[in-house]
Structure 1
Amino acid sequence: MNPLRCGCLSDLYDKLVDLAKKRGVYWVSYEIYGGLAGFYDFGPVGVLLKRSIIDEWLKTFVYTFDFMVEIETPMINPQVVFKASGHEDHFTDPIVVCSKCGRVYRADHLIKEVTGINVEGASLESMWSIIVEKGVKCPECGGDLSKPENALLLFKTEIGPYRGQLGYLRPELAQGMFVDFKTVLNIARNKLPLGIAQVGRVARNEISPRQGLLRLREFTIMELEFFHDPSESRRDIEDYLGYVEGETLNVVTAESRERGFEEPVKLTVREAFEKGVVKNPWLAFWMGVGAKFVRSLGIPPEKTRFLEKLPHERAHYSAQTFDQEVYSSKFGWVEIAGYAYRTDYDLRKHMEYSGVDMFFFKRYERPLEVVKKRVAVDYKKLTEFLGEKYQSVLKSLQSMSQEELYEELSNKGYVLIGDVKLGREFFELREEKTLVHGEKIVPHVVEPSFGVERLLYILLEYSYTVVEDRVVLRIPPRLAPYQVAVFPLLAGGKEEHRAMSSLARSIVKRLREKGLRVVYDEEGSIGRRYARSDEIGVPYAVTVDHQSLRDNTVTIRFRDTRNQVRVEVDKLYDTILKYLEDNKMA
């Protein structure tokens, strides 16, 4: 019985939290000091589950494609990185403070919780009007709230002791990949498209994190920046659409949201960009890959949607954004990933602040013969005419492009530099034929970004099942923290019991040597051991029994059906490997 389908939802979240702590998945950090909001520790099972999610993401998004590479960059960044990216000015959330108890709340979230009105991205004045009009008070003590103000969400630090350089903990992985773009491009032999992926820890100084794993101050994200030539997207993507063939996107458009409707339309990846619903073909492609990935976690397609952000909801760098959401019994629609079309914003900003060339040289298939317009300056005549003004006027002339200067002189017969009018007699205009082998472009970027902890919570919620009053986590086998549990049927002082334990331990050793994650348990009855392994989602339980000592065979019990098959010990590894490849739970 799955609580998501039977209506037994009232206490599912609390049961999940209890199970998570009991079985070593996660718990609140610094519990002995009363805990710290927005921080969680992950136990032996939680660490393995997170790693499985990350491995599945890497397999789906990175290792499948020849244009993808993975890098790692520091968590601490100098201030200039986030000045250039715009985060220092824009990475803020609105806050209100209780005048009575001093608690701080995120204003838009509090307004939605109390009134049901969605004010994400609205102005501070609009939020204040709603707070006054609806009488929104502090939910803890009923005190009056301050006027909303913006709070910077970047964690500050110092790089170096004794008044070191100001730095920030990164709130996203993206900037490390943008800063390294030219280096990685050279490593990748100067080819586009190019995807740079990264998995790592980030920090956001959230105002009032109150939703468990869904809103943390330190967490892990999986992100990629996909650099491409937007003029070639339609052509380049044709070679890869087969990977997402058959994937359906449930899309809630910004247009329908503005009309007050959130019913999704079903589109294939090709339909999404050919109909103009998704502006960039590669954005649609990665949304298709994301749909495939989330389905591999055991989430039904009908419980997933892509919600297009309204213009005022989008980040400052994005031309179009979709949130990939999964329906949660506790929290409603939960964002697990964001897909942003960042255009060339970030590369241009880093060029502006660093002075470093971030262009890509786009080589033509065949050289083009072009006519270039040139202007030669008669410096001698110019010097005689300008006298002391020569240097300042020359500097202004040199700041103009050849094409711009040519057009001015052709159309007007003169060029005006400040109050100085220079006629054509100071210049020679000519046209030159030349072969052009390519052009410099600034690549555009599409970005999918996933939160690992949010995915972990969603995976647990959808896996949680109750069978005859026993909890079973029906996690897809390849994502399970341990692929196999091994038990001796009986463990004790008798010679036969010691023989069972010895054979069981030798099987554990053999399976671990071959790369499987194995849990061994000989405490309590076999039924209790099955129950413990079910609670952490182990898909296959191997039992050494009396017959095993006679014919060197063991039973494999399937977690979801409790069916059992008998297998020779020598064939056990190959059998389990095949089950994992086939995702078999029969």
Structure 2
Amino acid sequence: MSEREPAAERERTSEKLVELAKRRGYFFQSSGAYGGVGGFYTFGPQGAALKGNVEDAWRDRFAVAEGNMEIDAPTIMPEPVFEASGHLDGFDDMLVECPECGESHRADHVVEDETEYEDAESLPIPEVEDVIAEYELVCPSCGAGLAGQAVDAFNLMFATTIGPGDSDPGYLRPETAQGIFVEFPRLKEYARNQLPFGVTQIGRAYRNEISPRRSIIRTREFTQAELEYFIDPEADEPDLESVADVEVTLYPASEQNADGGEEIRTTIGEAVDDGTIASPWVAYFLGVAKPWYDAVGVDMDRFRFRQHLSGERAHYAADCWDAESEIDGNWIEMAGFAYRSDYDLSKHAEHSGDRFTVFKQYDEPKTVERATVDPDMSYLGPEFGGDAQAVVSELEALAARDRSAFEGDAVEIDLEGETHEIPVEKTGFAVEEQTEAGKHITPHVIEPSFGVDRLVYTVLHHAYREDEVAGEERTFLELDPEVAPTFVGVFPLQNDDELEDAARDIAADLREAGLSVTYDDSGNIGRRYRRQDEVGTPFCVTVDYESIERDEGGVTVRERDSTEQKRLAIGELAETLSAIRAGDLAFEELGE
């Protein structure tokens, strides 16, 4: 376990960042005119631009580069969807209520904040109650003791109704994934029934968090970027060679459970070979994600993949690894990489009656033996009445899985908890040879699921810098040019009509070249530089009198991180800055 720092020390940078975010238009609590609403945040002009750039970068890597489809499904879905998915029964957090002030808190968070336990979410409820009593933990709001208070499971789903009158119950989706799964029967047609194929979605999800906190890290409405990758588990293999050499820091369950367990630094190829990562498909997407996180600005010295412990895995996950970033001494989850097996498609097939399979064509037709039943309905009808068809279904399922059950005079089936005997002669049981061109298979699913809001926060936090320039303290965001909300600021050196007209013309030319540009003529030039530094603008262009008095007089281009300045001809400005943004040219390579 990592060494725990004092809470005040851990929150120091985050407090500064949250203040900067509000002041400079990155994010702030929603509905402030009405006192604000916990767990809901508005992204301001800078934040919306940064968030959009992160989403575009994710789309380019996980949809376009991987050849996957993208859809946009509704955020409200009918109740049967979530009955099938298991969310109504198993999508809970642990709630403890203060006996004095009545405030509700996430019990696992109370434990994690005040003890050495880092993953209390993985503990069973009785053990969490024991830890609260053992450490004599208190209410974070009023300080009253919580020992002896019941810890209850609280479902996180937001309920609503669909339509007027006797409306149908519905829910705001807690993940974008179900919008992909329920449309699988149609999506497979778009994929020409060929596995493997992937479907992506970027959109809003909703969870009624017990105790939203830490600004946009834990909210009730958030954006997910998810990929559901459908595979034939018996035939499809990932291109591990392309990611085998990617270096990663892993924190497997075995190390988390061991005394003195530590993170492991290895490569994707080695982790698969030694069994640290059991699923090659999960390993592949970890290998794809690591360099992508690096590219958008996550500090790789504060990044790791942590395997879920058995008690914290979602009900659908056979295995799961989280991408985590370190924020002020704490590790936060940014993404989950889960092997969901055939859980989702099988559940939706069972509940909907639709076909959630793909027909797999054999290279050559095969002759196989099939156990079949053709029940005598003149017997089953009077004997079982309205349950006769259910009996047929049970007989068909039994014949498929255990034909030896039909070897005696009677066969036993279970119907709603009761055992019934049916004469074999009335079942029409037979074993026949059939020629098959292929078979229907239920694909397995690999799911990389990214939390966009948490990633935005991480990128900002990891980019936050303080230094001193010419004896003056400076705050700036060292954002990667690919995701920075604004790429270049354009300034006239002074408030002069001729300078301002030239600067506006340059700004228009840069926008036409596809660059995000801000124009600023307010205040002295140093103050304007500081404003752009603080929102993370990588470059500033200053138009001075030499720019307009001489042919090719040029402009001053200032780089944010080093504050170094260079002169560049106006005619070369758009092409040069575009090359820098694309990564084809470095600022240091420019002339004086």
TM-score for the superposition, normalised by structure 1: 0.89
Q: Decide which of 337, 341, 353 is 2:351's aligned counterpart.
A: 353
Partner Cα distance (1:42, 1:445) in 2: 32
Identify the residue that residue 63 of structure 2 maps to in structure 1.
62
Identify the residue that residue 216 of structure 2 maps to in structure 1.
213
How far has the Cα of 1:370 moved from its partner?
1.9
CA RMSD, 1 decimal: 2.9
Distance 1:47-1:396 versus aligned 2 partners, 3 A rule: closer
Identify the residue that residue 332 of structure 1 maps to in structure 2.
330
Identify the residue that residue 257 of structure 1 maps to in structure 2.
256
Distance 1:373-1:198 versus aligned 2 partners, 3 A rule: closer
Partner Cα distance (1:163, 1:195) in 2: 38
Q: Decide which of 157, 164, 167 is 2:167's aligned counterpart.
A: 164
Identify the residue that residue 467 of structure 1 maps to in structure 2.
467
Distance 1:24-1:428 versus aligned 2 partners, 3 A rule: closer
**Offset from partner CA, 1:362-388 (integer Å, 9 cap, x none):** 122x21432324669797xx97x9997
Give the AA of the match of 1:45: Q
Q: 8 Å contact 2:349–2:355 — kept in the other structure?
A: yes
Identify the residue that residue 24 of structure 2 maps to in structure 1.
23
Q: 8 Å contact 1:375–1:405 — kept in the other structure?
A: yes
Distance 1:222-1:396 versus aligned 2 partners, 3 A rule: closer
Identify the residue that residue 3 of structure 1 maps to in structure 2.
none
1:441-460 pair list within 5 angstroms: 441-460=441-460
Query: Secondary structure at the residue paired with 1:477?
Result: coil
Q: 8 Å contact 2:371–2:399 — kept in the other structure?
A: no
Identify the residue that residue 416 of structure 1 maps to in structure 2.
411
Q: 8 Å contact 1:408–1:414 — kept in the other structure?
A: no
How far has the Cα of 1:28 moved from its partner?
1.6
Partner Cα distance (1:395, 1:204) in 2: 37
Identify the residue that residue 206 of structure 2 maps to in structure 1.
203
Partner Cα distance (2:169, 2:402) in 1: 47
Q: 8 Å contact 1:203–1:217 — kept in the other structure?
A: yes
Matched, 1:485 2:493: no
Identify the residue that residue 4 of structure 1 maps to in structure 2.
none
Partner Cα distance (1:183, 1:470) in 2: 55
Distance 1:526-1:356 versus aligned 2 partners, 3 A rule: same
Give the AA of the match of 2:107: A
Give the AA of the match of 2:586: K
How far has the Cα of 1:407 moved from its partner?
7.5
Partner Cα distance (1:338, 1:288) in 2: 13
Query: Secondary structure at the residue paired with 1:136?
Result: coil
Identify the residue that residue 107 of structure 2 maps to in structure 1.
107
Distance 1:262-1:55 versus aligned 2 partners, 3 A rule: farther
Identify the residue that residue 494 of structure 1 maps to in structure 2.
none
Identify the residue that residue 534 of structure 1 maps to in structure 2.
533
Distance 1:378-1:134 versus aligned 2 partners, 3 A rule: closer
How far has the Cα of 1:124 moved from its partner?
2.2
Partner Cα distance (1:524, 1:463) in 2: 26
The farther-off stretch of 8-17 and 28-37 is: 8-17
Matched, 1:372 2:369: yes
The farther-off stretch of 478-487 and 551-560 is: 551-560
Partner Cα distance (2:159, 2:400) in 1: 47
Give the AA of the match of 2:582: E
Matched, 1:302 2:306: no
Report % sequence identity.
Answer: 38
Distance 1:402-1:26 versus aligned 2 partners, 3 A rule: closer
Matched, 1:566 2:564: no
Identify the residue that residue 54 of structure 2 maps to in structure 1.
53
How far has the Cα of 1:276 moved from its partner?
2.4
Distance 1:574-1:134 versus aligned 2 partners, 3 A rule: same
Query: Secondary structure at the residue paired with 1:313?
Result: coil
Distance 1:444-1:501 versus aligned 2 partners, 3 A rule: same
Where do 5+ consecutive residues of structure 1 fail to align?
A: 1-7, 492-496
Q: 8 Å contact 2:244–2:270 — kept in the other structure?
A: no
How far has the Cα of 1:564 moved from its partner?
2.3
Query: Secondary structure at the residue paired with 1:233?
Result: coil
**Offset from partner CA, 1:107-156 (integer Å, 9 cap, x none):** 11112222333432322222222222322221322324331111111111
Matched, 1:37 2:35: no
Q: Name the count of aligned residue pairs.
A: 563
Partner Cα distance (1:141, 1:376) in 2: 67
Partner Cα distance (2:61, 2:401) in 1: 52
How far has the Cα of 1:305 moved from its partner?
0.9
Partner Cα distance (1:29, 1:420) in 2: 64
Query: Secondary structure at the residue paired with 1:143?
Result: coil
Q: Decide which of 131, 147, 150 is 2:150's aligned counterpart.
A: 147
Where do 5+ consecutive residues of structure 2 fail to align?
A: 1-8, 413-419
Partner Cα distance (1:480, 1:405) in 2: 58
